[in-house]
Structure 1
Amino acid sequence: MPASTSQASSSAGIDPFQNMSHTVIDSHIELDSSWVTVMCRATRFHITVSHKDIRRSHFDTEYSEMVAKAMDDDDEEDHDVLCEWIVDPCLPYFRENTSNVPKEITFKDFYYPPTHHLQLLGTRDRGTMNAFRLMIPSRDLPPFSEIPRSKASDLRIVSDTQWDDYMSEIPQKAILSDGTSRFFKPADDKKQLLREVDMHMRIRHAGLQDKIKVANLHSIVVSDDAKMTIGLLLDLIPSTGDSLYSHKNSALASEYHARWKQQITATVKHLHSHGLIWGDVHPGNVVIDTSFNAWVVDFGGGSIVEFVPRKKAGTKAGDWHGVRKIFDEWLLEKEN
């Protein structure tokens, strides 16, 4: 999208952001998830808003209506309005993190700027929206001393020769210095990260790593100074990226239904025998590899009520309810 420039303003009193202009240099608008990349004082801010994060908040209807207008917008005015709606809650963060930028900058300063990743989260009980970085201060987490660390500068993002989305979206894969690829899970939720790491440590201590189809945790990704935790590196399951959602009511589902059910059942039995709960049981957390084997992924917690009732979430009964729902009902349902 064409760049647009704005000057922050205030309707009353002294404007705390006076003379702090910002330019939207790129954006992508969809109902499920939108992002805006902004330059402000030789600093780049990549702001993401996910519909699921504001679905039950004060901003749900407003966001949905603005997206609909922006996507039907020929002159791009509504698009620009939505971009500024996304940017506005982040202006205090812009000022806080650009106060020491020198007035004289080089081309290098502009074209290779420091980048901050922000995510908008709606607050259900208050009419406010705040920006949160997609990282967690390492001091806010346990030491996890037995888990190795990987420095962000030692990891390459998988590039694409035809598309440049990989430069704007949170990466899903990382390439190590030896060329090995790993799956990257971002640290965008402290509670989920804590449960994910704890589960993998307990799986390791129970000696289950080579007995169940679960991607092993290899390291925690941190900033070069280790002050920020960025995410986790896990085994990259050899697959086309397909979960069971891609196989519903398919010929493969009919052919491999019994195998997939047996494999997931075996994994859940092993977990339960050591007091471990999968938790978030749904088709998106069952990955099918290139040999048509079924793997369990995501131990961050949470649940989807279509597959695990709220009262059973986080229990063994909830796991089995989800497995039965997937394989005895959902997978072979006929599409309307």
Structure 2
Amino acid sequence: MSHTVIDSHIDLASSWVTVMCRATRFHITVAYKDIQKSRFETEYSEMVATAIDDDDGEDHDVLCEWIVGPCLSYFRESTQDAPREITFGDFYYPETHHLKLLVSESELSPKATRDRGTMNPFHIMIPSSDLPPFPEIPRLKASDLRIISDTKWDDYMSEIPQKAIIADGSIKFFKPADDKKQLLREVDMHLRIRHAGLQDVRIAQLHGIVVSDDGRMTIGLLLDLIPSTGDSLYSYRNSASALEHHERWKQQITDIVKKLHAHGLVWGDVHPGNIVIDTSFDAWVVDFGGGSIVEFVPRKIAGTKEGDWHGVGKVFDEWILEDR
């Protein structure tokens, strides 16, 4: 059953996982004392130990799914009447069930419980008071934005949405506010791009900031949707299209970076995932939140013009046709 782990905490005494499933939130807790002397005691203890020492997150994810697994039938029963049409308000302020795992007849089973205050309901939001006012940028209320529905699959009700339908029926790209520092840089860069008059460059323009209906929480950003199949350059590595369009894409990205640098602007996070290919096979630059992937931009030059050029060279001179 489709679900997404939104937040989690791992500790031997008590671990918890917050999950979204069909626009409903489930907060699941497992306490060591509740499974002690059962067949799950050793398994849980060992999984916690490996998850805590886990560097790549794989063991952490395994433990989260171990906690979620016994609850899937509960998810199904609790969400049978979930509406197919939902708004961002429905997703970010959902009905919430609090569960704890107990041993029943040698099996782990969920039991409804009270809110014990361990869940952070605003984990994937930022308090608006922590951000500058940004008076130039429109605010859009979460309940006024619809999530694109799918008649066949429920994934859109369980995963953080990537697209939003606004009041006029058009579709925008949604970027969640899951990192304050990155959001601040993203907004600042888009304002500077706007002031520099670079609206004609293949950069998705910032449309607005999504907030809770009371305005207290910032949920994310809306940007113009690039007319593409949703594929970044990662999808084209060593492909026939890459062989055909490689030089064109390199020149297009080079031209965009030159224009940014001419106005004192640094892209900052150059890697294939931040280059989107549209339906006309033109290359676009996305993501001005900062950060870097060391495979493409070494940390010591990340966030500099030198880092941008190093990343562009790495992507187009080495990575994209590496196996050709």
Scaled by the length of structure 2, what TM-score is found?
0.70
Which of 255, 270, 282 is 1:266 aligned to? 255
Q: Corresponding residue for 1:208?
A: 198
1:81 Cα deviation from its structure 2 partner:
7.3
1:65 Cα deviation from its structure 2 partner:
3.7
Contact between 1:203 and 1:209, CA under 8 Å: does it hold in 2? Answer: yes
1:297-324 per-residue CA deviation (whole Å, 9 max, x = no partner) reads 0000000000000111000000000000
Which of 216, 220, 242 is 2:209 aligned to? 220
Q: Corresponding residue for 2:179?
A: 189
Q: Corresponding residue for 1:95?
A: none
Structure ranking higher on relative contact order (CA contacts 8 Å, 6+ apart): 2
Q: Residues 34-113 of structure 1: matches in 2 within 5 Å?
A: 36-37=19-20, 44-45=24-25, 58-60=52-54, 64-65=58-59, 67=61, 78=66, 80=68
SS at match of 1:157: coil
SS at match of 2:231: coil
1:113-149 per-residue CA deviation (whole Å, 9 max, x = no partner) reads 85289xxxxxxxxxxx995611111000000001011
Q: Distance between the aligned counterparts of 2:213 and 2:63, measured in 1?
A: 42
SS at match of 1:200: helix
Say if 2:206 is the partner of 1:179: no
Contact between 2:275 and 2:284, CA under 8 Å: does it hold in 1? Answer: yes
Q: Residues 119-268 of structure 1: matches in 2 within 5 Å?
A: 133-210=123-200, 212-268=201-257
Contact between 2:4 and 2:159, CA under 8 Å: does it hold in 1? Answer: no
Q: Distance between the aligned counterparts of 2:138 and 2:61, measured in 1?
A: 42
1:46 Cα deviation from its structure 2 partner:
5.4
Contact between 1:220 and 1:233, CA under 8 Å: does it hold in 2? Answer: yes
Q: Corresponding residue for 1:331?
A: 320
Q: Residues 273-288 of structure 1: matches in 2 within 5 Å?
A: 273-288=262-277
Q: Distance between the aligned counterparts of 2:63 and 2:124, measured in 1?
A: 28
Q: Distance between the aligned counterparts of 1:62 and 1:324, measured in 2?
A: 28
Alpha-carbon spacing, 1:35–1:258, altered in 2? closer, same or farther (3 Å): farther
Contact between 1:173 and 1:181, CA under 8 Å: does it hold in 2? Answer: yes
Give the paired residue count: 255
1:59 Cα deviation from its structure 2 partner:
4.9
Contact between 2:4 and 2:21, CA under 8 Å: does it hold in 1? Answer: no
Alpha-carbon spacing, 1:62–1:243, altered in 2? closer, same or farther (3 Å): closer
Q: Distance between the aligned counterparts of 1:225 and 1:265, measured in 2?
A: 43
Contact between 2:52 and 2:60, CA under 8 Å: does it hold in 1? Answer: no
Q: Distance between the aligned counterparts of 2:265 and 2:95, measured in 1?
A: 36
Q: Corresponding residue for 1:124?
A: none
SS at match of 1:179: coil
Contact between 1:66 and 1:82, CA under 8 Å: does it hold in 2? Answer: no
Alpha-carbon spacing, 1:82–1:268, altered in 2? closer, same or farther (3 Å): farther
Q: Distance between the aligned counterparts of 1:44 and 1:214, measured in 2?
A: 35
SS at match of 2:230: coil
Q: Residues 286-305 of structure 1: matches in 2 within 5 Å?
A: 286-305=275-294
1:221-260 per-residue CA deviation (whole Å, 9 max, x = no partner) reads 1111111111111010000000110000001001111110
Alignment-mate amino acid for residue 307 of structure 1: F
Alignment-mate amino acid for residue 181 of structure 2: K
Alignment-mate amino acid for residue 236 of structure 2: H
Q: Residues 4-43 of structure 1: matches in 2 within 5 Å?
A: 27=3, 36-37=19-20
Alpha-carbon spacing, 1:47–1:158, altered in 2? closer, same or farther (3 Å): farther
1:43-70 per-residue CA deviation (whole Å, 9 max, x = no partner) reads 953579xxxxxxxx94526963465588
Unaligned stretches of 5+ residues in structure 1: 2-25, 49-56, 72-77, 84-106, 118-128
Scaled by the length of structure 1, what TM-score is found?
0.68
Contact between 2:127 and 2:218, CA under 8 Å: does it hold in 1? Answer: yes
Q: Distance between the aligned counterparts of 2:27 and 2:231, measured in 1?
A: 27
Alignment-mate amino acid for residue 64 of structure 1: E
Alignment-mate amino acid for residue 175 of structure 1: I
SS at match of 1:193: helix
- Superposition RMSD on alpha carbons, in Å? 3.4
